[in-house]
């Protein structure tokens, strides 16, 4: 089977993309991939995370991103909501329903009191994640492309911007990193959407500090360290700011947190060309 057939829809890659893909697969350089077109977005004040258990492990990645923003002392905090279905991919989510009136985000809890909200816009960005194998699976990769486009259109129809979350390779299948990165990057370009390079951050951390375990015992889901690294990568990608020195460490020891913060920032700078 050809590289193009294995990693994308049944279509021929443009020569620059194909050469970049060959470099990615053959050189061992995890960052030598198709260049993302979208490298920054307007600073969001709210975000909905739409995905699966990769998001909700360790008490929810969305909460850690919000705490990173708060610890940075920003005047504008990040309001986050998580919609996750265990084992889900793009197809399992009715994204349009997540923006329906008087539903998600209708009220909040503040000091044990319920406050009913009246937002001008429900969410600024929707962070979308497919299942961990879907973008590169022979039976599901075409659906990844179709729903990436469909969900992007749905999100924009509701006044928000779509953002794709690049997932990581399984601990025992590091060869997943390159094709996942390529698929998410190309899908981001096709839909004019920002891509968060969490998978590349995992690979960089493992390359530099293989002693740090980013995975749960099942070798797929994130450990507490993995969730924190991914949260720092989201923070750096969305805000365009370095997480290095951020006081929020999610209970990770100071030295390890500093390392993961640096990996996230370096990965985002290299991937987004900042």
Q: Count up the domains in the chain and report the number.
A: 1
Q: How far apart are CA 74 and CA 177, in angstroms?
A: 33
- Supply the pLDDT for residue 118: 87
Question: Would 33 be classed as within a structural domain?
Answer: no
Q: How far apart are CA 83 and CA 50, in angstroms?
A: 5
Residue environment code for 11-21, b if the CB has 16+ CB neighbours within 10 A, otherwise e: eebeeebeebb
Q: Which residues are CB-neighbours of 27 under 8 A, at least 6 positions away?
A: none
Question: Would 28 be classed as within a structural domain?
Answer: no
CATH number at residue 172: 3.40.50.1110
Question: Would 12 be classed as within a structural domain?
Answer: no
* Terminal-to-terminal C-alpha distance of the chain: 36
Q: Which of 243, 265, 230, 239 is nearest to 55 (CA)?
A: 230
pTM of the entire predicted model: 0.87
Q: How far apart are CA 202 and CA 168, in angstroms?
A: 6
Question: Would 52 be classed as within a structural domain?
Answer: no
CA angle in degrees (0–180, nearest 5) for 72-73-79:
85
Question: Would 164 be classed as within a structural domain?
Answer: yes
Range of the domain at 235: 57-272
Question: Would 14 be classed as within a structural domain?
Answer: no
Question: Would 101 be classed as within a structural domain?
Answer: yes
Q: In terms of DSSP bridges, do strands 194-196 and 107-110 run parallel, antiparallel, or are they unpaired? A: unpaired
- Supply the pLDDT for residue 88: 96
**Residue 109 burial (C-beta neighbours within 10 Å; 0-12, 13-18, 19+):** exposed
Joined together, the tokens standing for residue 51 give 């995905």
- Supply the pLDDT for residue 120: 85
Q: Which residue, chain included where needed, has tokens 């850690």? A: 64
Q: How far apart are CA 105 and CA 99, in angstroms?
A: 9
DSSP-based three-state secondary structure for 191: coil
Mean pLDDT by 10 residues, the chain (274 residues): 35 37 40 83 97 96 97 87 96 96 88 88 96 94 96 98 98 96 97 98 97 97 98 97 97 97 97 89
Question: Would 20 be classed as within a structural domain?
Answer: no
Joined together, the tokens standing for residue 26 give 């053959």
């Amino acid at each position: 089977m050809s590289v193009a057939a294995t990693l994308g829809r049944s279509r021929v890659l443009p020569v620059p993309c194909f050469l970049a893909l060959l470099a990615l697969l053959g050189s061992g350089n995890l960052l030598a991939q198709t260049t993302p077109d979208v490298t920054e977005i307007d600073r969001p004040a709210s975000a909905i995370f739409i995905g699966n258990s990769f998001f909700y492990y360790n008490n929810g990645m969305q909460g850690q991103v919000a705490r990173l923003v708060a610890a940075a002392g920003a005047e504008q905090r990040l309001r986050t909501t998580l919609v996750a279905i265990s084992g889900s991919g793009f197809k399992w989510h009715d994204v349009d329903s997540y923006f329906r009136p008087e539903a998600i985000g209708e009220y909040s809890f503040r000091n044990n009191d319920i406050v009913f909200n009246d937002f001008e816009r429900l969410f600024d960005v929707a962070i979308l994640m497919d299942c961990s194998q879907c973008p590169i699976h022979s039976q599901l990769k075409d659906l990844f492309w179709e729903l990436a486009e469909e969900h992007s259109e749905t999100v924009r129809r509701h006044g928000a911007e779509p953002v794709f979350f690049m997932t990581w390779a399984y601990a025992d299948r590091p060869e997943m990193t390159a094709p996942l990165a390529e698929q998410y990057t190309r899908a981001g370009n096709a839909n004019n959407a920002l891509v968060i390079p969490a998978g590349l951050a995992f690979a960089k951390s493992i390359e530099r500090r293989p002693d740090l375990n980013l995975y749960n015992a099942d070798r797929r889901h994130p450990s507490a360290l993995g969730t924190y690294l991914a949260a720092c990568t989201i923070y750096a990608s969305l805000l365009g700011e370095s997480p290095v020195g951020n006081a929020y460490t999610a209970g990770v020891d100071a030295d390890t947190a500093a390392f993961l913060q640096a990996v996230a920032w370096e990965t985002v700078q290299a991937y987004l060309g900042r």
